[in-house]
Structure 1
Amino acid sequence: MTQSNHHLTPDLASRFAKLVLGHLTQEYPNKLTHSLDSAADVQSPRALYPIFYGSYDWHSCVHGYWLLTRLLTRYPNLPEAPTIRAVFNRQLTEANVKGELAYLAVPSRAGFERPYGWGWLLALQTALEQNVTTESQRWAKILSPLADAFVARFIDFLPKATYPVRVGTHFNTAFAMTLGLKYARAARNTKLETQICETAWRWHANDVNCQAWEPSGDEFLSPALMEAELMRQVLSDAEFQIWFSAFLPNLVQRQPATLFLPATVTDRSDGKIAHLDGLNFSRAWCQRSIARALPRDDPRSALLFASADLHYESAIAHVSGDYMGEHWLGTFALLALEA
């Protein structure tokens, strides 16, 4: 089995930290996902979301905090660490969490950020709780009511969701459930874990011979590989190998071929087209994770590791350069590196 040579180094961590700090509390430009019940609801992003008003949109701001938390965990003495801690201390307050909860409490906003932002908020909570420093534990305690709110939304939503959403954008259910499952297990929330595992089985247990009709023009997730990554976490190793062999039965022949070919990005100033750099990172993430779940002598493992390197290398030079990508791509680069 061939492992990747790509790793998170202190220099790269510092580069990512600088990038995120440059936009985490930058209010504009901003793309609001906002339900208005009256003229009084016409407010600025900062007024609506006291914590997560930066980074162009709510969910990108959330996973910007996740990225910085992971960097602090890996490299607590980064040159940017004091600035990161100052931003967290200023933003992660009980008053600001109450403001975020007040926004969610409006009935017309029950579907706000479903499911992508739900998954990312739980991922942030997981990252804070897994950092054992006193300061991170304090931030986790402050943020926990917001995490509880999204846990409740997952538990309410999944039983009535008859079908999965398989697109490669924010509506992809496998991605959000993958992040939610990691939170559930770390927090020992058996109700959420059971709900996610049962839903994943209900939706995907009988999925076979995936054709992988991807990429679409604005995807940043692979519908095929994201589903496989979810099932890798839901199933035991033995169960997953059986399921995966039926799901992508011709992988050893490098089929579907699209999964081995990085997406082409023609205009990184176009926010939708720029999503495709994220697709290349997220494929690298899933391919590495799946490769490690296969037997060491399985030829598919080497193929997936090689493809992951190819996808990662196609995107890493473009993490910065245009705001349409740089407000979020560092997060997906780190997902690939930590796989």
Structure 2
Amino acid sequence: MRLTPDLASRIANIALAHTVREFPHKLDHVWNGAGDGTRPSAQHPIFYGSFDWHSCVHGYWLLLRLLRLFPDLPEAPAIRARADDVFTAAKVAGELAYLARPNSGGFERPYGWAWLLALHGEAALHDAAWGAALEPLARAFAARFTAFLPVQTYAIRNGSHANTAFALVLAHDWAAEHDAPLAALISRRARDWYGTDRDAQGWEPGGDDFLSPVLTEALLMQRVLPAADFAVWYSAFLPRLAQHQPPALFTPATVSDRSDGKIAHLDGLNLSRAWAWKALGHGDLAQIHLDAGLPHIAGDYAGEHWLATYAMLALEG
């Protein structure tokens, strides 16, 4: 399957709808007192839709990415108008004010941090005003990465939002263009955590994974190692790849209930594996996983509020 204009329009309409859908909403919020709570749009003037903050962030990333790849989409005027409305200094100031609250240091760490950097990186390739408006927010999260990575003793190797490697893939892509010291720090920490890993066992998927811990780690090491060094590392990390071992990595996940938000994560696992396999040079494996995940990006809001982003990653490679 290819990212055709028709498919791009379908994906754009999904994201245009959910990025401004305020309810249902799952807040990542610490109450500091009895009166410390309001509706999502009051706390987050930009990222109040899409069920949760991080999904709204990458929903906007998805819209801007589609706009750049397909500037003549029928939905392009609506995307531009939406971006003009939300990416303003005043609304970014509201998001920054939330970060400054007491007990907000762990807000959206690290997944939302990384997606915000990706959004800024995409916005900076478009209208200068969008990138300029979002830059203070991006710099705030870059500063959080810079402070946090040296004190994170251990990598988190699960298959969902806390996964260290996935966050650093996105953060490194941004930092390579916008923050050279952070890019260097990410490279060092990736080597610290993953550089001696060998013979990955592939104990996945877990019941609510949307990322492959094994393949996401490989994507990060592909970014931070020279090509020759990565080839050596990769052959030791997946020494039985040619034999499709361990088998769980090569078999799409089964999704038993797409109305259950956690079980629906497994559609995302199939799509994120397609993205990873393609980037790692295994187009046949990417296609198998894409075929399993792409038909299910809409239909139930449990997946519809976020899966199209991962379809975009998989389709674009």
TM over 0.5: yes
Cα distance in structure 2, aligned partners of 1:225 and 1:111: 26
Query: Structure 2: which amino acid aligns with 1:108?
Result: N
The residue number in structure 1 matching 2:102 is 107
Across the two proteins, how many residue pairs are aligned to each other? Answer: 317
Cα distance in structure 1, aligned partners of 2:52 and 2:220: 25
The residue number in structure 1 matching 2:246 is 256
- Give 1:180 deviation, angstroms: 0.3
Aligned to 1:79, the other structure's residue is in SS state: coil
- Structure 1 residues 20-29 or 84-93, which shifts more? 84-93
- Give 1:106 deviation, angstroms: 1.4
Query: Structure 1: which amino acid aligns with 2:171?
Result: G
Q: Does 1:329 align with 2:307?
A: yes
Q: Does 1:277 align with 2:272?
A: no
State whether residues 272 and 314 of structure 2, in contact with CA within 8 Å, keep that contact through their aligned partners in structure 1: yes
Alpha-carbon RMSD: 0.7
Cα distance in structure 2, aligned partners of 1:194 and 1:243: 19
Cα distance in structure 2, aligned partners of 1:25 and 1:88: 12
- Give 1:144 deviation, angstroms: 0.4
- Give 1:40 deviation, angstroms: 2.3
Q: Does 1:181 align with 2:172?
A: yes
Query: Structure 2: which amino acid aligns with 1:150?
Result: F
Cα distance in structure 2, aligned partners of 1:215 and 1:86: 40
Change (3 A) 1:53 1:177: same
State whether residues 117 and 170 of structure 2, in contact with CA within 8 Å, keep that contact through their aligned partners in structure 1: yes
Query: Structure 2: which amino acid aligns with 1:168?
Result: G
Query: Structure 2: which amino acid aligns with 1:208?
Result: R
- Give 1:107 deviation, angstroms: 3.0
The CA deviation string for residues 108-136 of structure 1, in whole angstroms up to 9 with x for no partner, is 000100000000000001111123xxxx2
Cα distance in structure 2, aligned partners of 1:140 and 1:7: 29
Cα distance in structure 1, aligned partners of 2:257 and 2:176: 40
Aligned to 2:158, the other structure's residue is in SS state: coil
* Matching residue within 225, 231, 252 for 2:221: 231
Cα distance in structure 2, aligned partners of 1:282 and 1:166: 15
Q: Does 1:17 align with 2:7?
A: no
1:18-97 equivalences in 2 (<5 Å):
18-97=13-92
Cα distance in structure 2, aligned partners of 1:137 and 1:286: 31
Aligned to 2:280, the other structure's residue is in SS state: helix
Cα distance in structure 2, aligned partners of 1:157 and 1:323: 33
Query: Structure 2: which amino acid aligns with 1:90?
Result: D
Structure 2: unaligned runs, 5 residues or longer? none
1:286-297 equivalences in 2 (<5 Å):
286-291=276-281
State whether residues 32 and 102 of structure 2, in contact with CA within 8 Å, keep that contact through their aligned partners in structure 1: no
TM-score (norm: length of structure 2): 0.99
Aligned to 1:46, the other structure's residue is in SS state: helix
Cα distance in structure 1, aligned partners of 2:100 and 2:35: 16
The residue number in structure 1 matching 2:163 is 172
Structure 1: unaligned runs, 5 residues or longer? 1-5, 292-303
Cα distance in structure 2, aligned partners of 1:338 and 1:127: 14
The CA deviation string for residues 229-274 of structure 1, in whole angstroms up to 9 with x for no partner, is 0000000110000000111111011101111100000100000000
Q: Does 1:138 align with 2:129?
A: yes
Cα distance in structure 2, aligned partners of 1:69 and 1:12: 15
The CA deviation string for residues 286-333 of structure 1, in whole angstroms up to 9 with x for no partner, is 101011xxxxxxxxxxxx321110100011110110000010000000
